[in-house]
Structure 1
Amino acid sequence: MITDMKKVCVITGGGSGMGFETARQMGKDYYIIICGRNEKKLEGAVHELKAEGIEAEAFPCDVSDYQSVEKLAAYAKEKGKVAAVIHAAGMSPHMGDAKSIMEANALGTIYMNNAFFKVMGEGSCIIDVSSMSAYLTPKLVMPVGLYKYSIINPELFIKKIMKRIGFFPKSVQAGVAYGISKNFVIWFAKQDAARFGKKGARVLSVSPGNFETPMGELEKEEADAYTKHCAIKRFGRVSEIASLFAYCASESAGYLTGVDILCDGGLVASGVNPLGKK
């Protein structure tokens, strides 16, 4: 049973990496529901959290399936006040094809915001996790004019974006889809601030750079080439990004909304381009 004083925090992608570390940190003040598609991974993560005295449970969810996300939101509401949502689930270019990446990253963000808008109220906060790739991918690539369709018809939005991605060589489509999807996350969180604000809730995005996570390991060879351009010449620690999430979701950041926070060790500030050149 959850005490009346306990607030609920939902974390997608909470089975490992920055999502799991965020669950560890936020578990001191919230009842944690971690979500993902890998039930075995979720169960192992919950076991670790409970061993640290954290109230937590797992809820299998595919963020690219709206019915799955709606079930998650309804379940979270049953557990108490949904005070924080950290939407950290996503796919990198090494994890799937362009369509899968767009569905997980872009469609997943639309679905999470739309479903949780219904169950979140005064003082709550949703954080959509983007990536520094949103800043590194050339702006000419970004089909910003199509983003508006995400509000009217999410499925049509994906169809139009995929048609645009289809103009690129197949060898780079996954990378292009990733950059576009993460740029879209920033746009969507910003435009959603007014909607959430009417309910006294906040929405913002955070764009991590290279961090020591399982996903980061998949991209390590390419990411290592960028480290020399960072002001802080190392990968970020998951405890550092988790602390940022925890602060942004807290009442201490109650006036913070409609903005993206870039946490990349100073890489984008260096002026490096996607080819690793100044």
Structure 2
Amino acid sequence: MRKVCVITGGGSGMGLATAKIIGKDNYIIIVGRTIKKLEKALEELRAEGIEAEAFACDISDEASVNKLAAHAKEIGTISSVIHAAGMSPHMGEAVTIMEANALGTININEVFYKVMEKGSCIIDVSSMSAYLTPKFIMPKGSYKYSRTNKEIFMKKMMARVNLFPKKVRSGVAYGISKNFVTWYAKTDAAKFGQKGIRVLSISPGSFETPMGEVEKDEVENLIKFCAIKRLGHVEEIANLMAFCASDKAGYLTGVDILCDGGCVASGCNPLKMKQS
């Protein structure tokens, strides 16, 4: 059977760039909320001779993710899942961001665990915000509810977010949700390892993507703290993701890889940064 790679958020940015690399030896399923928004990406992939299709899925809805996983399993052996879909602070309300980033990751990992086989890999995409958001904000003690009761988990996460002024809640929700993603991938490793599946997360910094453009003001503030004084190119993060998903990284699991041009290493504190 042919190898299949599922890429959520595959319609643009780092998801699409990764599809162009992994698609050289995998059948690609790019995933987004609507098929229409994926059409241009599909044309680009097919123009490069990559076998691909688009699939509509709401990752915050478990039933929708179940349909995606079942479809992927019908096509072939799922070699990897690159879970790059997510929302930035300027893309929605706090609760919507938490549902997309945190709940979406729970759904992807839980559902695909059931259908993936030995030798496969899931990569959950986080963000350097997982490191930059002050630790006292993170409700880490409540992350455990993600594995027992999603409703309680969401209530706990939003209770923490709602302690903050309304104008900053989307940003707080983003930081918490991405910190959760790194925790979730790490603590999923033992379970996934029992089936011979690897799971890890990658935390990108500021890259040349549509999402990066939406957060342009914040991105410009952060670049001055980076050791490499520029935005990252999508091909740079895509090559990292493709390598981590491949057999060449077969001993890599249960870890978060930070790829941010040295921003976090600078010790910059977002709370002290000048707000635009």
Bin the TM-score by the shorter chain: over 0.9
Where does structure 1 differ by over 2 angstroms across 4 or more consecutive aligned residues?
none
* 1:276 matched to 2:266: no
CA distance in 1, matches of 2:273, 2:159: 28
SS of the residue aligned with 2:81? Answer: strand
State yes or no: 1:47 paired with 2:43.
yes
Distance 2:137 2:116 in 1: 34
Taking structure 1 as the reference length, what is the TM-score of the superposition?
Answer: 0.97
Structure-to-structure mapping, 1:48-67, within 5 angstroms: 48-67=44-63
Q: Following the alignment from structure 1 to structure 2, what is the Cα–Cα distance between the partners of residues 94 and 225?
A: 16
User: SS state of the match for residue 147, structure 1?
Assistant: helix
Q: 2:13 corresponds to which residue?
A: 17
Aligned residues: 273
Q: Give the SS at the match of 2:258.
A: strand
Give runs of aligned pairs for residues 41-120 of structure 1, distance below 5 A. 41-120=37-116
Give the aligned residue type for 1:69.
V
Alignment of 1:69-218 (within 5 A): 69-218=65-214
Percent identity between matched residues is 70
The one-letter amino acid paired with 1:214 is P
1:34-74 per-residue CA deviation (whole Å, 9 max, x = no partner) reads 00013212122111111110000000001001000010001
After superposition, give the CA deviation of every residue in 1:81-116 in whole Å (9 maximum; x if it has no partner): 001000000000000010000000000000000000
Q: Distance in 1 between matches of 2:257 and 2:95?
A: 26
**CA RMSD in angstroms, aligned pairs only:** 0.9
Match of 2:28 among 27, 32, 46: 32
CA–CA distance in structure 1, aligned partners of residues 168 and 273 of structure 2: 17
Give the AA of the match of 1:230.
Answer: C
Once the two structures are superposed, residues 107-149 of structure 1 have per-residue CA deviations (whole angstroms, 9 ceiling, x without a partner) of 0000000000001111000000000000000000000000000
Give TM-score scaled by structure 2 length: 0.97
